[in-house]
Amino acid sequence: MDTLEELKIKGFIEEEVDPTLDLFSEINRLKKEKNAVILAHYYQEPDIQDIADYIGDSLGLSQQAAKTNAAIIVFAGVHFMAETAKILSPEKKVLLPDLKAGCSLSDSCPPHLFAKFKEQYPDHMVITYVNCTAELKAMSDIVCTSSNAVQIVNSLPKDQPIIFGPDRNLGRYVAQKTGRDLVLWNGACMVHEIFSQQRIFKLKNQHPEAKFIAHPECEESVLTMADYIGSTTGLLKYTIENPAQEFIVATESGIIHQMEKANPKKVFIPAPPNNQCACNECPHMKRNTLEKLYLCLKNEIPEIILPDVVIKKAQKPIERMLEISAQLGL
Ligand code: 13P
Ligand code: SF4
């Protein structure tokens, strides 16, 4: 039978948080006391973004995880992101506020099936999108993110055959951008495939001056309507640099917090989903709360633990991505 501690780690028992606590000052106190850093993805709830030491997209977060001097990394994001931080800084304690914060895209590519898929293409190099398990990264030649996928593919010789996984939408977008014939794994993200082309079309008609911006994890039918396609950081930059006053945003709606902060006078409209009960919030990202962030800093659990052999094998393809990105100034 599991001990109380084990049940807590698994998330079966949630410790209660005193509702009168000022969580912002408690988290800041614990952070200093324990020499911890909080890294948060743009899809986290606004309070978590506001208390983080660094907010960014997957590439920025990996770069931060590789260079931090902190003893503890609290990763306010999903499991594969915290794993990436652990792989890059194995000597550090990496905490994830909710261990069940997974990813539908990562789940769509089970490592044992990918290993069989890969066997069919012995001459191919494997590029994997960072949204996958550590085990999958360990089977890859280079990792990429949505910020650098096109450049990473272009960094390989033109005649080099490539398998790209796990996201079929990003893969198809990269294939079009690079003119390469990539072998794609058939995976996708539940959040980025929820947008309705018809409802976006209607919204664009209602807001003719609005720019429609989309993440490359969206389906092709949505991307064809976009004025700009980019990673979360790319989308944010576009809203700052483009003079338009209205933007329809097709990605997880957490990014709108930073867009509004950077552009207080501009209007941001989340792209509509294809049914009435779904929304474009990632249920995995949103498992993290300020209370769980506080508890994980206080108790130093749940911790990301990975086998050494996986860490060693997965390090190379991630470091290769970071090297190429640094060379290209990304
Ligand atoms: P980026 O922030 O790297 O664009 O990734 C989006 C995403 O889906 C993360 O889960
Ligand atoms: Fe995974 Fe999609 Fe959520 Fe990103 S938004 S963590 S890809 S399920």
Residues 7-26, mean pLDDT to the nearest whole number: 82
Domain residue spans of the chain: 4-102+285-299, 105-188+312-328, 195-270
> Counting atoms of ligand 1 from 1, which one is nearest the CA of 191?
8
- Residue 240's pLDDT is 98
> Counting atoms of ligand 1 from 1, which one is nearest the CA of 57?
2
- Proximal ligand: closest to the CA of 167: 2
Q: How many angstroms separate the alpha carbon of residue 57 from the centre of ligand 1?
A: 6
Q: Whose CA is nearest to atom 1 of ligand 2?
A: 103
Q: Does domain 105-188+312-328 have CATH number 3.40.50.720?
A: no
**Residue 8 in this model has a pLDDT that exceeds 90:** no
| Whole-angstrom distance, CA of residue 75 vs CA of residue 94 | 7
Q: Whose CA is nearest to atom 6 of ligand 2?
A: 103
**Residue 1 in this model has a pLDDT that exceeds 80:** no
- Residue 14's pLDDT is 73
> Counting atoms of ligand 2 from 1, which one is nearest the CA of 103?
1
pTM exceeding the 0.85 threshold for the entire prediction: yes
Q: What is the pLDDT of residues 183-223, one digit of tens each?
A: 999 999 999 999 999 999 999 999 999 999 999 999 999 99
Residues 119-131, mean pLDDT to the nearest whole number: 98
Kindly report the CATH number that applies to the domain delimited by 195-270.
3.40.50.10800
- Residue 9's pLDDT is 62
271 with 200: CB under 8 angstroms? yes
Confidence of residue 12 (pLDDT cuts 50, 70, 90): low
User: Under CATH, to which class is 4-102+285-299 assigned?
Assistant: alpha beta
Pocket of ligand 1 (CB under 6 A): 42, 57-58, 131, 145-147, 189, 215, 217, 231-232
Q: How many angstroms separate the alpha carbon of residue 81 from the centre of ligand 1?
A: 10
Q: What is the pLDDT of residues 277-306, one digit of tens each?
A: 778 899 999 999 999 999 999 999 999 999
- What is the chain's Cα-based Rg? 20
Q: How many angstroms separate the alpha carbon of residue 324 from the centre of ligand 2?
A: 24
**Residue 257 in this model has a pLDDT that exceeds 90:** yes
Q: How many angstroms separate the alpha carbon of residue 261 from the centre of ligand 1?
A: 19
Residue 39 Cα distances to 48, 50, 63, 224, 290, angstroms:
9, 11, 11, 33, 13
Sign of CA dihedral 311, 316, 322, 325: negative
| Whole-angstrom distance, CA of residue 329 vs CA of residue 208 | 35
- Residue 96's pLDDT is 97
Q: Whose CA is nearest to atom 2 of ligand 1?
A: 57
Q: How many angstroms separate the alpha carbon of residue 281 from the centre of ligand 1?
A: 13
- Proximal ligand: closest to the CA of 253: 2
> Counting atoms of ligand 2 from 1, which one is nearest the CA of 167?
7
User: For residue 195, what are the β-bridge partners?
Assistant: 273
Q: Answer whether 4-102+285-299 and 195-270 agree in fold.
A: yes
Lowest mean pLDDT among 11-20, 124-133, 141-150, 208-217: 11-20
Pocket of ligand 2 (CB under 6 A): 78, 103-105, 131, 189-192, 252, 282, 284-285
> Counting atoms of ligand 1 from 1, which one is nearest the CA of 234?
4
**Residue 3 in this model has a pLDDT that exceeds 90:** no
Q: How many angstroms separate the alpha carbon of residue 77 from the centre of ligand 2?
A: 10
Q: How many angstroms separate the alpha carbon of residue 52 from the centre of ligand 2?
A: 20
**Residue 276 in this model has a pLDDT that exceeds 90:** no
**Residue 98 in this model has a pLDDT that exceeds 90:** yes
Pocket test for ligand 2, best of 105, 219, 280 (most atoms within 8 A of CB): 105
Confidence of residue 13 (pLDDT cuts 50, 70, 90): low
